[in-house]
Amino acid sequence: MKDLLSVSDVTAYIQKAEECFRHQECLSCECYLGYLTQLKLDSDQAGWAYLKQYIPTRDQIHACLGCDPCPPGMLYAEYLRGRRIQLK
């Protein structure tokens, strides 16, 4: 069974993401939403509850702005690679 992320783990991932955002709009980008969704899937119950405040409402979500590189997209990929190594 995989280790679930705690609130402190989730907080660290969120902080890292927000520090690298290029635009305020990154907070409601579909790339960031994918990252948040993955964190939610990997979190314990307390992590789920904590993440609710960061997930934008459906009417706020917009398509990727096309930043190159895309900070949330890069963090998401980095997270998945790191998680895969942890679970082996």
Q: What is the pLDDT of residue 65?
A: 86
**Is residue 63's pLDDT more than 50?**
yes
Domain boundaries, the chain: 7-87
Q: What is the pLDDT of residue 16?
A: 93
Cα–Cα distance between 27 and 6 in angstroms, integer?
Answer: 21
Cα–Cα distance between 77 and 74 in angstroms, integer?
Answer: 5
What is the 3-state secondary structure of 57-68?
A: CCCCCECCCCCC
Q: What is the pTM (predicted TM-score) of this model?
A: 0.86
Give the rounded distance of the alpha carbon of 77 from its chain centre.
10
